């Protein structure tokens, strides 16, 4: 049963579904190991949604899974570059296009959106970006694209509260294991307010990819699959859903 069908069923039974939670896994398609971790966190845990990186090596594998498993909502994780911390600040590992070149960003977003449609065979349920570049100088480009598609843009839709508190690093990449513990996840769940909340996460097995966020990904899997997470959701009366259940007409239908 799809998440939206569950919400409708609960409403028909008179249940209070005023609090809804999207648990979105970023970096789908980054590598085979990351794909495996996201799939595990969806099938065994509380992940309901993922954001696909269409330019990465395992994108086709991730899209194949998405085509066959509609229970996992899938959006576009626009990849314009990646930066990692060093002793003095943040340095670029790679840059696809400059984030302040709006024409280049618009062209790249259009190409990645077209690639998403070819791979997945449908529109993305939402759009966000690698390392939140969509909240920078090129934000208006992303706003225009998502408005045209009538889909949510992370941290830019008044209907959906964004929570980035489930993360295993502090400033400049310092380890912060408390941020991805099961206790932290339960605390986040218990604090979900009325309306729709997105909690971002980064589960995966990252031995096959170069990333400064590596060991934390497996820890995230363990927390997301911990029975205490689902128990907290049930105890709080929260309905799990995906962006497909709240975007466009679906938002009004389930409101």
- Say how far residue 80 (Cα) sits from the centre of its chain: 16
Helix axes 139-149, 102-120, angle to 10 degrees: 40
| Residue 248, burial from CB neighbour count under 10 angstroms (0-12, 13-18, 19+) | middle
Domains in the chain, number = 1
CATH code of residue 177: 3.20.20.370
| Residue range of the domain that includes 208 | 3-254
CB neighbour list of residue 43: distance below 8 Å, 6 or more residues apart: none
Whether pLDDT at 254 is above 50? no
- Is 231 within 8 Å of 11 (Cβ atoms)? no
Whether pLDDT at 41 is above 90? yes
Give pLDDT, residue 110: 98
Give pLDDT, residue 85: 72
Whether pLDDT at 2 is above 60? no
Per-residue pLDDT tens digits for 95-105: 899 999 999 99
Predicted TM-score (pTM) of the model is: 0.90
Cα separation, 195 vs 244, whole angstroms: 15
Per-residue pLDDT tens digits for 63-96: 999 999 999 999 999 999 887 877 777 777 778 9
| Residue 106, burial from CB neighbour count under 10 angstroms (0-12, 13-18, 19+) | middle
Helices marked H in the chain: 3-12, 32-43, 59-68, 102-120, 139-149, 182-190, 215-225, 227-236, 243-246, 249-254
């Amino acid at each position: 049963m799809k998440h939206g069908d569950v919400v409708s069923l609960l409403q028909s039974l008179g249940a209070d579904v005023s609090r809804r939670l999207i648990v979105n896994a970023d970096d789908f398609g980054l590598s085979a190991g990351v794909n495996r971790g996201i799939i595990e966190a969806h099938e065994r845990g509380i992940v309901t949604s993922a954001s696909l990186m269409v330019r990465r090596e395992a994108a086709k594998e991730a899209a194949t899974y998405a085509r066959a498993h509609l229970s996992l909502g899938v959006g576009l994780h626009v990849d314009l570059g990646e930066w990692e911390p060093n002793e003095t600040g943040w340095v670029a590992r790679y840059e696809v296009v400059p984030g302040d070149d709006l024409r280049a960003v618009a062209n790249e977003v259009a190409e990645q959106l077209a690639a998403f449609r070819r791979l997945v065979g449908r529109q993305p349920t939402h759009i966000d970006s690698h390392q939140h570049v969509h909240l920078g100088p090129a934000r208006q480009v992303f706003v225009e694209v998502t408005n045209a598609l009538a889909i949510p843009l992370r941290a830019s839709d008044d209907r959906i509260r964004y929570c980035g508190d489930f993360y295993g690093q502090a400033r400049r990449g310092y380890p912060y294991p408390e941020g991805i513990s099961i206790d932290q996840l339960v605390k986040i769940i218990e604090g979900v307010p009325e309306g729709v909340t997105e909690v971002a996460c980064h589960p995966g097995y990252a031995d096959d990819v170069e990333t400064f966020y590596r060991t934390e990904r497996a820890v995230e899997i363990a927390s997301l699959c911990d029975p205490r997470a689902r128990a907290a959701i049930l105890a709080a009366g929260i309905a799990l859903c995906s962006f497909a259940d709240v975007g466009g007409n679906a938002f009004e239908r389930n409101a």
